[in-house]
Structure formats: structure tokens, C-alpha cells
Amino acid sequence: MKLGIYGYGNVGKGVEYACAQNKDVELVGIFTRRDKNEVKSQLGNKVYSVSELKDFKDKIDILIICGGSATELPTMTVDLAKDFNVIDTFDTHANIPTHFKNVDKSAKDSGHIAMISCGWDPGMFSLNRLYANALLPTGVDYTFWGKGISQGHSDAIRRIKGVIDAKQYTVPVKEVVDRILKGETPELSTRQKHLRECYVVVEEGADKEKIAEEIKNMPNYFADYDTTVNFISKEELIEKHSGMPHAGFVIRTGTTGKEGEHKHTISYNLKLDSNPEFTAMATVAFARALYKEKLNGTVGCLTVFDIRPRDLIDMSYEELLKHML
């Protein structure tokens, strides 16, 4: 299976490491929108300019697109699906149906296969929501994110006047998660589910009190949450908050029996040292399945919901029956 990487940011680097861990994968090259001479592969792979991509139409089985969901992927995946079999990590949940429709049309018109929204949420969390709902049709769903860095919230703080840099952690309220894991099914407000912890570096002489208030009252991002703001030095931010950890829970509690007298709780939990690298591992596993679908002649856009689990892993069916089932 020959893969290409389009975009060499955190996820792109993660895909490069993932290719090295998966023995059935050959990484054809990394394609960058920057000056290719200024981009150095972490593992000595070839770096090309995206303008060279047209020469690789028949040399890449699946192109993994590592772009931003907000502004890049909505057009990038649609365009690249005209010439390649593609997979992306589009994660703006509300816009998934539209993105799916656009990518599906592009892929079908050109006879390619595509997958959108691969990763952990959307991705593995979505699969767990589906499995749990399929098995327990009568029940209540919960998703908790964190503790982990939210890129969007960190960016929102950085746009405030006087702020040099910032990191925002989304933190699930532990007591609430524990209650739900024990089978309780409370109705929860946004504020009851997650806290927001901010680490902020400001310019000398900045009005910290004013900045803290501006953060805490920011609509959509912080106003509906209990938010703590910590002002720290640039050095401390780099030393203690440079990682990209994330975590989360998908929980469903449902009932069965003659009169719903039996309760069941299904929970799926991730604890990730590196959000982008885990996302990258998922894209490579699903690229493997997509490649098999391509060999079957499938065209159009798929999601994680379409993939037979057996196609994700580099292991024979006999081995799966023996060691995994």
C-alpha cells in the first residue's frame, strides 16, 4: 500500500511516524505547500512541493490530507479527490453532512474513493457511539473531552489584545464522569460537564484582570463554563504546556429486560499523550481498509461506519479468529 502525506504539520508528522510503524505501508512522499527546501522530513523521507503532486497520480494508492478543518479541508479534500483516493480528518461536526456530500460527488465524478472525518472524534468515538446505540437502543449518551488542549479555544485567547500566547485545557468534571460510569443518567448543563483551564502569557504592563474577564465572558467559547485563568511566563508555557495530550470518554447507559429492569453501562476511554499522533495512527489504519475497498472497485465517499473491522489490521483472518475473537 503506497501512501502520500499532503501537509506536514503535527498530524502530517504523525502520519510519517505511523507509516514507519506499519510494515505493509510504503510512504511515497510528503507534499508541502511551503518551500520544499525548507521542510525537512523527520525520518528522511522525500519532501516534494504540492505542485509536483500531479506527477504522482498513479504512484499513490491513498493520499492522507493533513489540513485544517475550519478553512482548508472543505475545498482541499474535494479538489484532491478529483485526482487521488483520499482520506481526511475533518472534525467540524456540524458541517460533516455537507462536507460528505461535496467529497462524495467529487470522488464519484472522477472514479475515486474517499474517507472523511477519520481520527478519534469524529472517528473512534463515533464508532463507539454507534455500537453502543445499536446494542442498547433504549438509553442515554454522554461524551466527555479532556483533559486536553483545545486548539480552537487556545486560538481564541491568543486573539485578545495584550496576549502573547496561550494554551487552554478542556477538563471533564471528574465527579460527574464517575457518577455516570456508575450508571447514573443525570441531565447536565454545559457548565456541569466540563471546566476550562487557561494558561496565558501577556505583554509587559498588560491589564491582567481585564484580560481574565474578557476570556471568562467570551460567548460560545468560555461564557457557559467555569473558567480559570492562570498568567504564566513564556518560559513556563513552553516548559509545561508544549505537549498535545488529549483524552475523553464515550459512555452509554441503557436498559434491557421485560420491563427495562436491568441497566448496562458501556464506556470507551482514550488517554493520549499526543492527539495528532493518535489521529495519524487512525488515518493509516483506515487508509489500509480504504485501499482494500479500492481494490474491490468501490468509489465515492465513505466514513468509519462503512469499514469492516477486519480490513483495518495487517493480520490474516485466521490469526484474527485465533488471537482477537
Within residues 178-237, the interface with a second copy by CB under 8 A covers: 181, 183
Up-side HSE of residue 324: CA atoms within 13 Å toward CB? 11
User: Does 43 sit near a second copy (CB under 8 A)?
Assistant: yes
User: Does 174 sit near a second copy (CB under 8 A)?
Assistant: no
The one-letter amino acid at 214:
E
Give whichever of 176 and 206 is closer to a second copy, judged by the CB atom. Answer: 176
User: Does 145 sit near a second copy (CB under 8 A)?
Assistant: no
User: Does 158 sit near a second copy (CB under 8 A)?
Assistant: no
Give the residue, chosen from 1, 3, 28, 136, that forms a contact with a second copy under the rule CB under 8 A: 136
Give the residue, chosen from 8, 31, 100, 222, that forms a contact with a second copy under the rule CB under 8 A: 100
Up-side HSE of residue 277: CA atoms within 13 Å toward CB? 11
Cα–Cα dist 141/250, whole Å: 8
Q: How far apart are CB 22 and a second copy at their closest, in Å?
A: 6
User: Does 18 sit near a second copy (CB under 8 A)?
Assistant: yes
Give whichever of 211 and 285 is closer to a second copy, judged by the CB atom. Answer: 285
Cα–Cα dist 148/194, whole Å: 11
Size of the site for a second copy (CB under 8 A): 71
Give the residue, chosen from 63, 225, 277, 291, that forms a contact with a second copy under the rule CB under 8 A: 277
Helix (H) or strand (E) holding 195: strand 194-202
Q: How far apart are CB 3 and a second copy at their closest, in Å?
A: 15
Point out which span in 26-34, 160-168, 171-179, 280-288 binds a second copy (CB under 8 A).
280-288
Cβ distance 171 to 147 under 8 Å?
A: yes
User: Does 86 sit near a second copy (CB under 8 A)?
Assistant: no
User: Does 87 sit near a second copy (CB under 8 A)?
Assistant: no
Point out which span in 47-55, 66-74, 78-86, 260-268 binds a second copy (CB under 8 A).
260-268
Give whichever of 106 and 303 is closer to a second copy, judged by the CB atom. Answer: 303
Give whichever of 43 and 223 is closer to a second copy, judged by the CB atom. Answer: 43
Rounded to 10 deg, the angle between the 275-295 and 10-21 helix axes is: 60
The verdict on whether omega for the bond into residue 147 sits within 30 degrees of 0, i.e. cis, is yes
Comparing CA positions, the residue from 273, 279, 198, 201 lying closest to residue 243 is 273
User: Does 93 sit near a second copy (CB under 8 A)?
Assistant: yes
Q: How far apart are CB 24 and a second copy at their closest, in Å?
A: 10
Q: What residues contact 300, with CB distance under 8 A and at least 6 apart?
A: 104, 107, 108, 113, 114
HEC assignment per residue over 257-299: CCCCCEEEEEEEEEEECEHHHHHHHHHHHHHHHHHHHHHCCCC
Give the residue, chosen from 34, 59, 135, 203, that forms a contact with a second copy under the rule CB under 8 A: 135
